[in-house]
Structure 1
Amino acid sequence: MPLSATRLKHRFTVEYPINASPKILYPYLASASGLSHWFCQDVKIEGGHLYNFIWDNQPHYAEMASHRTNRSARFVFLDENKRHAADANFLDFLIEESQLTQEVYLRVVDYSEETDTIELQEMWDSLILKLREQVGG
């Protein structure tokens, strides 16, 4: 069995308060131009729901599997042939608003082979700092 087939996946979940309305925040989570401002080097959309995330000049294809305007977006990563893989990596962005305090939170679920929780925490802290600079929150 190839090594890649035996790699265990890890579900990392983190939540951040964001001082911006869901309406302002959502385009930064679901549009190519918004994501390219804080999440990766560049993002291109091919054929509607196929997103090409570029990190270190390398393409990483994902499908926007689901979204709810001003609420959530899910990206499921595809294999090198742009096909769905079993137990694929995915990324969920969930916007939650406290009805009591009116505070807005962004919950990130990162499902991948990366198991170093400290490294994931630092990476997401850094990314969310960039996002907050973009949305003013």
Structure 2
Amino acid sequence: MEDKVKFEMEFVVHASPQLLYQYISTPSGLSEWFADNVNSRGEFFTFIWDGSEEKAKLLSKKSGERIKFRWMVDEEDDLSCYFEIRIQVDEITKDVSIIITDYAEEDEIDEAKMLWENQISDLKQVLGSA
């Protein structure tokens, strides 16, 4: 198994941090833009796309600020990678951004970034800030 490479992306989103947090931290919020359906049981979340399921473990969350998951397949492979969705507010301009931290295999980074761009585009549409 080759090592995955960490990457970060930033997206400016016109929405309040409190509203955004609901969309990144709850199963109902995540199922509005991230997956077709999301279920959670304790610290485990199940993401469903087109009938296929991926399970992730909630590693940490800070109310109003960030949420971090690890895909169970990565946990089983003993990989230390994760994906994090962080809300950042610029002190001066008060612009709200979402910072995505994720990992992908080197030859899949462009594809992974494109996937996040599509996901965040869906989120912006749901928020009405597209």
Question: 2:38 matched to 1:43?
Answer: yes
Stretches of structure 1 that go unaligned for 5 or more consecutive residues are: 1-5
Any residues of structure 2 matched to 1:65-80 within 5 Å, and which?
Answer: 65-79=59-73
Stretches of structure 2 that go unaligned for 5 or more consecutive residues are: none
Paired-residue identity, %: 28
Question: Which of residues 51, 56, 59 in structure 2 aligns to 1:57?
Answer: 51
Larger Rg computed on CA atoms? 1
CA displacement 1:28-87 (0-9 Å, x = unmatched): 1111011111111111112x211001123121111111001110000111139xx65411
What is the distance in 2 between the residues matched to 1:115 and 1:53?
Answer: 24
Alignment CA distance shift 1:116-1:85 (3 Å)? closer
Q: Which runs of 4+ in 1 moved over 6 A?
A: none
Tell me what 1:128 maps to. 120
Secondary structure of the residue aligned to 1:86 is: coil
Question: Which of residues 81, 84, 93 in structure 2 aligns to 1:101?
Answer: 93
Shift of 1:89: 4.0
TM-score w.r.t. the length of structure 1 is: 0.85
**Residues matched between the structures, number:** 129
What is the distance in 2 between the residues matched to 1:89 and 1:96?
Answer: 21
Tell me what 2:84 maps to. 92
After alignment, is 84-93 or 69-78 more displaced? 84-93
Shift of 1:134: 1.1
Instruction: Please identify which structure carries the higher helix content.
Output: 2
- Supply the RMSD in Å over aligned alpha carbons: 1.8
What is the distance in 1 between the residues matched to 2:121 and 2:106?
Answer: 21
CA displacement 1:95-128 (0-9 Å, x = unmatched): 0001100000000011233633332222111111
